[in-house]
Structure 1
Amino acid sequence: MEEQQKYYVDENGQWEFPLGLRQLAMVQMDLNGRNKYGQDSGVGNVGNGLRMRFPIDRQRLEQSIQRVVDENDALRLILVQKGDTYTQRVLAHYQFQLQVYEAQGDTEQERLQSAVAIASKQVNTVIDWFNQPSFRIFLVQLAENDYLFVWLAHHWIGDGSTTGLIMDQVFRYYEHPDAPKPETDTYLHFLRDETAFFQSDKGKKQLAYWKQEVEGYQMLDITKAAVGAPASGYDHMYQIDRSGVEQLAQRYHTSMFNVILLAYHLGVAYLLDNPDTIIGVTSANRTSKRYFRTMGYIAHSLQHRMRIREEDKLADLLEASKDTFSKNMANLAAGHYYDRTQFCLTYQNFVAGAETSEKQLEKVPIPTKRSVEQFFLLVFEGADKLALAMVGNGLIYTEHFLESLKGYMESVVALLSQQPDATLAQLRAYYEKNQ
């Protein structure tokens, strides 16, 4: 009984809960990564670093983080092993303590390098998910009124949106300690709703749709991406012209997202020499208002499949891709059940909220082991450019692969603009001629 008192107990007296489908998959992915890349690898840790050049009240910051932890059950989850599977419990209370590290160095650049090294070590350190919450938040001080703010969560307790929500909520409470709690349901509520959905007639119908949608699909041979020297552990940022993508979206009465999705599919198909590809579309997630601002592993990839032939025309492929996406969206809630996702596309991401918009913030890339073998393309809209962040294990997704993918996507946009009836064979020739 004393052990049980440490944990949250629901209205039915339950204090141990089953894992969600995505959680269980991420736990297994982490364990597989540790076996392959080493036990010291923080395989599933997802986080960010922000440099903040303004005064920080450490006690006030700690209090704002504590409130976020108190209000979000996902940040208090503890993994429990049960034979060959796992369950989870929620700590009734977790006392957060803000760690502040000191960067070393005589110059600003040396101190920044030191801060990044400290952050990288923490981000790449395995979290003891059986005995402590699976998140970390800390500061590294470079100088007076100059800090690196780092926050991370293991993927089993939170999606990419969760890391953005943590940052947004922490600084909202830091600026306004009396601000009301966001109107959002808890993560445990989400897991219960999801379980009930899969058991319902509507859920079973969606499961049947996705079973048929992925029928016969063969996982891509990602070793074909490993051409040339390995990429560094940093997220790689590229830019492409926005106007061409925007003009195509207007011409074909669609979104820039759909144009990028087509270009991404065709790039992966070409570089891995496979005409049948699935892209996990994460811009389709978090559509429920009940859970839009709930921290936890809620987001999931909608599996968008394309099967292409040499004689297919680019304009026809764009229309077919749009049609597939519409059908997928009608079955969104079960879109992750038969997971075949190796490549992901995120077109929208949470960014710093309005409370920090006037402060001097800059994102600092933090090197990671990137042991997870999924590849992520994150697209951010700018006034004139689209920023492409490419994230993946550098041993697999090399510099050559990253630059080739960017180049092929640009070729898709250019040729579709100039010659809509161009075939895939002509696209390949166009790309190879312009390299």
Structure 2
Amino acid sequence: MTSNTDLSFGQERIWLLEQLLPGTVTHHLAAAYEIRGPLDPVVLDRAARAVVGRHEPLRTTFHEQDGRPFGRVHEVSPPVLRTVPVASFDDWASVAEAEIQKRFDISELPLVRLTLIAIADDHHVLMVVMHHIISDGASMGEFFDELSKAYAAFRSGGDWRPAELPITYRRHVEQERAAAADGSWAPDLAYWRERLQGAPSLFAMPGAGQRPSRPTLSSYEAHASLTADDSAALQAFARRHRVSPAMVLSAAWVATLARHSGERDIVVGTSVSGRDRAELKGLIGLFMDVVALRVQLPAGTTFGDLVTTVRGETLTALSHRRPPFAKVVAELGGERSLAYNPIYQVLFNNASRSIQAFADVPELSCRRLPATTGTIQTDLELVVVSGADEDSSTRMTLVASTDIYQKDSAELLLEHTVSLLRHGLAEPDTPVEQLSLVTEEQRRQLADMCAPARTPLPPVRSVLGLVLDVIDRYRDVPAVRSGQRVLTYGQLSRHAGRLAERLARHGVAAGGVVAIHLDRSAEALIAMLASWQLGAAYLPVDPTYPRRRVDFVLRDARAQVIVTGPDTPADRFAALDAPVVVMDEDDDAADGPPLKARSEGSGEDSAYVIYTSGSTGTPKGVNVPHRAVVNFLNSMAKLPGVTRDDVMLSLTSPSFDISVLELFLPLTVGARIVIASTEEARDPQRLLDLIRDERITVMQATPVTWGGILALAPDDLRLRLALCGGEALSRPLANALCRVATEVWNMYGPTETTVWSLIAEVRPEADDVAVPIGRPIHNTSAWVLDASRGVLPAGVVGELYLGGTGLALGYRGRPGLTDERFVSGPPETGGERLYRTGDLVRLRADGSFEFLGRADSQVKIRGHRIEVDEIATLLRRHPKVKQAVVVARDDGSGDRRLMAYVVPAGVREPAQPTNGSR
């Protein structure tokens, strides 16, 4: 005989998910025990049948009629126990895994499976798998408890006569449905509407993976145990603050989430047993539910304050927990998605009762074995089990979605939760943002990774000093090729020396600025060297830039002289108060004086001024000293390493600071430079021809340029060294570069810290493995700081701050902006001067940094920094534009482009719907 029954709200939710995600095992509950002693399989089967017969949910199947689900309770159930013999204990896990992964058909019995894995007559493993629609964690405990008692009774030759259940699960469902219909939940639902109004609908941590539209529900696990001292401190803290240990652990979990995410308003689901009436205690069924805790952490919230807040939130939530969570979700409405759990995406699960088995059977001894489905229904779940072992320790398991989080991220998150808990217990008056996430040993390791030991600089005061050392040794060696023109080191020196004389006659002196209005060419390089001989900084000005930008830069930098080419109109700079020096590659410098070093000056003198912000907004001139450039070139010469046997392609416009590496690194080691013309730089095929004809061994380019070259590259293209920077390097492109170059290096660095500050050697990896931006170069420090400028440990996303010898002097003529971006570091950094990059990164456990995006609206396109908000502001000034938004979009080929979306002036806003609108 069978009879039909309604489903509880919790069962209805699981049934719906089963329809939407067919084939999933995420609703499987599993437990396994190793059993030593004379276990009788026949008696065990009889005991299992008795327990299944006692509880309706274990004999219920689930069906649909007219789009509505219902349950069918069967009078009897088919056998639920089977025995599987194995050769040794080592084989149990594979059998158990197969049982866990075997999908239930919820329209057919049984929905509980017992598998007895027989190793020997006195050695077994009992595996139990149930579907969540008929059970929960507490019910699994009840099942083992009754199974043990029934087995003991039958094994002794008697009968098992448990007390009659005070209520059936079917009656519980009827009571729940009646409460939903009679309005008794109205005050509770009103509370949830008010409490969750305005709460963030989605919790996301910076650097997490992109959420798929259909989650796999697979998970990673990380495990930790509190020491005996930790547990004692937890109990004592809980007593002093009149809270439960679980509330303290929940507060530590929220605090860690806040520190990792930077969020101050967090919604955490907290599991509740759902058995708050005495008559439900012994029932098997789906009672477990969740309440949502909205925890807000104003700045300065101490750990003690947070514990008090969590206590209040928990008690209030529990007092309003009568409506099942599924009913609360339905009441709140809002967008629903398979991609994430509604209302909360992180869960705290206090599984305080450890399931015991066969405690009533003296001849048997049992040991709990790990058994998990490897799935998760949320993004993150912290499971706390108290009294899990003989020593009453507290075990913590962090389960993380593989769709969103990497395994090492889950492990670090759990480590940081434990460290924060220890600090909070010891010093509860400490603000949450100051609680330590690491141990003292980890703190020392962090300092070693972020600030490697400094190395001495070469005994020279300027970049010119480095170059002159090489000129003296390689005077007759080819130094640079530009078009058909080839200059030896000696000729380069004399050309620069002759130009220095001309510049001096026009008033160029130490501390001045020489504007170089030249494209890629030997002439531009000569002008840079000549400027340094006079103690002046060079200012690269790209002739292809808009006239307004060029004029602004020249005026803002207060250039003493403008060096330009013969094609520039004679009156081009007439409006500017600066003399113009025209350079021609036919200038005869055979008898010019060689370059010479200045006896005065220091490493703090300005080497160059480069204006950033792409082609928008108000450009700002970064003032970079010789000290920084010398350190950079010295570091690059060692790693990645360039030698006198190399031929380096100079591809970059001088107005882009990565040209410093291409133009000057070869000159400091005796290598040869090949300067690509503007036309060659824009044509991948012409670049390939140049690489082949000049036998280029070292090349540096942005990802977009590399992509264009590799798309046309012949199979035999080979480079010794490929350098990539200016934008994020994708893994597929990195792997492609590894196929054409002996060494590939990913480079990262803003203009304000002198070209490249972090470098990483790249090796082929799977396409889903991110390419790191590397470790600090010599005499460079790199720190991940939070919004309060506190040091963050490995694994936590924060803003990257850079320090060390490579820091620029600041922004020319803009002391306020300099003070805003160049700041004093926290005590852990020694208070050193740091540059705030605005980039979000995390430090990996191996000491390398991973780039994750911007903390502001700045973007990079083809290596150029662009402030999209400034473009949108300019668009809004147009009389025909009412509103504008600018974003960077990938066109699918890896090439990012700026896209502007505008609302024309005069367009009426759409009418807002009233509360009664559909």
Measured against the shorter chain, the TM-score band is: 0.7 to 0.9
**Whole-Å Cα distance in 2 between the matches of residues 140 and 233 of structure 1?**
26
Query: Which position in structure 1 is the counterpart of 2:72?
Result: 89
Say if 2:380 and 2:400, in contact at 8 Å, map to a contact too: yes
Query: Superposed, which structure 2 residues align to 1:202-281 within 5 Å?
Result: 202-217=184-199, 218-221=201-204, 236-240=222-226, 241-281=230-270
**Whole-Å Cα distance in 2 between the matches of residues 235 and 349 of structure 1?**
20
Query: Which position in structure 1 is the counterpart of 2:2?
Result: 7
The answer to whether structure 1 residue 74 and structure 2 residue 57 are counterparts is yes
Structure 1 residues 66 and 223, CA, compared in 2 at 3 Å: closer, same or farther?
Answer: farther
Query: Which position in structure 1 is the counterpart of 2:125?
Result: 148
**Whole-Å Cα distance in 2 between the matches of residues 207 and 271 of structure 1?**
32
Structure 1 residues 319 and 142, CA, compared in 2 at 3 Å: closer, same or farther?
Answer: same
Structure 1 residues 200 and 319, CA, compared in 2 at 3 Å: closer, same or farther?
Answer: same
* 1:179 shift after superposition: 3.5
Query: Which position in structure 2 is the counterpart of 1:301?
Result: 290
* 1:250 shift after superposition: 2.2
Cα distance per residue 1:385-421 (max 9 Å; x no partner): 3111334544545432332232222233233234333
Say if 2:80 and 2:112, in contact at 8 Å, map to a contact too: no
* 1:123 shift after superposition: 0.9
Say if 2:419 and 2:437, in contact at 8 Å, map to a contact too: no
Query: Superposed, which structure 2 residues align to 1:326-365 within 5 Å?
Result: 326-334=315-323, 336=325, 337-339=327-329, 340-342=343-345, 343-352=347-356, 354-355=359-360, 359-365=364-370
Match of 1:419 among 427, 433, 445: 427
Say if 1:137 and 1:150, in contact at 8 Å, map to a contact too: yes
* TM superposition score normalised by structure 1: 0.85
Stretch of structure 1 that moved more, 360-369 or 126-135: 360-369
Structure 1 residues 59 and 30, CA, compared in 2 at 3 Å: closer, same or farther?
Answer: same
Query: Superposed, which structure 2 residues align to 1:51-62 within 5 Å?
Result: 51-62=34-45
* 1:335 shift after superposition: 5.2
RMSD over aligned Cα atoms: 2.8
Stretch of structure 1 that moved more, 268-277 or 78-87: 268-277
Query: Which position in structure 2 is the counterpart of 1:107?
Result: none
Structure 1 residues 291 and 421, CA, compared in 2 at 3 Å: closer, same or farther?
Answer: same
The structure with more helix, counted as a fraction of residues: 1
**Whole-Å Cα distance in 1 between the matches of residues 84 and 430 of structure 2?**
57
Say if 1:101 and 1:139, in contact at 8 Å, map to a contact too: yes
Say if 1:225 and 1:401, in contact at 8 Å, map to a contact too: no
Say if 1:226 and 1:396, in contact at 8 Å, map to a contact too: yes
Say if 1:29 and 1:372, in contact at 8 Å, map to a contact too: no
Q: Secondary structure at the match of 1:290?
A: helix
**Whole-Å Cα distance in 1 between the matches of residues 283 and 206 of structure 2?**
36
* 1:61 shift after superposition: 0.8
What fraction of aligned residue pairs are identical, expressed as a percent? 18
Match of 1:174 among 139, 146, 151: 151
Structure 1 residues 274 and 23, CA, compared in 2 at 3 Å: closer, same or farther?
Answer: farther
Query: Superposed, which structure 2 residues align to 1:26-45 within 5 Å?
Result: 26-34=14-22, 39=23, 41-45=24-28
Match of 2:105 among 128, 132, 137: 128
**Whole-Å Cα distance in 1 between the matches of residues 194 and 401 of structure 2?**
31
* 1:275 shift after superposition: 2.7
The answer to whether structure 1 residue 314 and structure 2 residue 303 are counterparts is yes
- Paired AA for residue 223 in structure 2: M
- Paired AA for residue 138 in structure 1: T
Bigger RCO of structures 1 and 2 (CA < 8 A, at least 6 apart): 1
The answer to whether structure 1 residue 24 and structure 2 residue 3 are counterparts is no
Cα distance per residue 1:228-257 (max 9 Å; x no partner): xx9996754320221221222122122211
Query: Which position in structure 2 is the counterpart of 1:164?
Result: 141
Cα distance per residue 1:193-223 (max 9 Å; x no partner): 1112223343222122222222233132379
* 1:311 shift after superposition: 2.4
Say if 1:101 and 1:141, in contact at 8 Å, map to a contact too: yes
The structure with more strand, counted as a fraction of residues: 2
- Paired AA for residue 10 in structure 2: R
Structure 1 residues 74 and 284, CA, compared in 2 at 3 Å: closer, same or farther?
Answer: closer
- Paired AA for residue 203 in structure 2: L
* 1:28 shift after superposition: 2.8
Say if 1:231 and 1:397, in contact at 8 Å, map to a contact too: no
Query: Which position in structure 2 is the counterpart of 1:12?
Result: none
Structure 1 residues 371 and 315, CA, compared in 2 at 3 Å: closer, same or farther?
Answer: closer
Q: Secondary structure at the match of 2:71?
A: strand
**Whole-Å Cα distance in 1 between the matches of residues 362 and 29 of structure 2?**
23
Query: Superposed, which structure 2 residues align to 1:371-382 within 5 Å?
Result: 372-373=377-378, 375-382=380-387
* TM superposition score normalised by structure 2: 0.42
- Paired AA for residue 29 in structure 1: L
- Paired AA for residue 267 in structure 2: I
Stretch of structure 1 that moved more, 265-274 or 136-145: 265-274
- Paired AA for residue 121 in structure 1: A
- Paired AA for residue 180 in structure 1: R
**Whole-Å Cα distance in 2 between the matches of residues 397 and 292 of structure 1?**
37
* 1:260 shift after superposition: 0.6
**Whole-Å Cα distance in 2 between the matches of residues 50 and 154 of structure 1?**
18
Stretch of structure 1 that moved more, 152-161 or 406-415: 406-415
- Paired AA for residue 239 in structure 1: S
**Whole-Å Cα distance in 2 between the matches of residues 190 and 128 of structure 1?**
24
Stretch of structure 1 that moved more, 95-104 or 362-371: 362-371
* 1:185 shift after superposition: 1.6
**Whole-Å Cα distance in 2 between the matches of residues 429 and 242 of structure 1?**
18
Structure 2's unaligned 5+ residue stretches are: 211-215, 330-342, 440-790, 795-918
Say if 1:19 and 1:87, in contact at 8 Å, map to a contact too: yes
**Whole-Å Cα distance in 1 between the matches of residues 195 and 35 of structure 2?**
46
Query: Which position in structure 2 is the counterpart of 1:11?
Result: none
Say if 1:244 and 1:413, in contact at 8 Å, map to a contact too: no
Query: Which position in structure 2 is the counterpart of 1:103?
Result: 86
Q: Secondary structure at the match of 2:32?
A: strand
Say if 1:186 and 1:294, in contact at 8 Å, map to a contact too: yes
Query: Which position in structure 1 is the counterpart of 2:393?
Result: 385
Structure 1 residues 260 and 125, CA, compared in 2 at 3 Å: closer, same or farther?
Answer: same
Cα distance per residue 1:253-297 (max 9 Å; x no partner): 222111011011222333344333233322453221111111111
Match of 1:48 among 2, 24, 31: 31
The answer to whether structure 1 residue 409 and structure 2 residue 417 are counterparts is yes
Structure 1 residues 392 and 417, CA, compared in 2 at 3 Å: closer, same or farther?
Answer: closer
Match of 1:119 among 70, 92, 96: 96
Say if 2:223 and 2:398, in contact at 8 Å, map to a contact too: yes
- Paired AA for residue 210 in structure 1: W
**Whole-Å Cα distance in 2 between the matches of residues 165 and 410 of structure 1?**
31
**Whole-Å Cα distance in 1 between the matches of residues 422 and 435 of structure 2?**
10
Q: Which protein shows a greater Rg?
A: 2
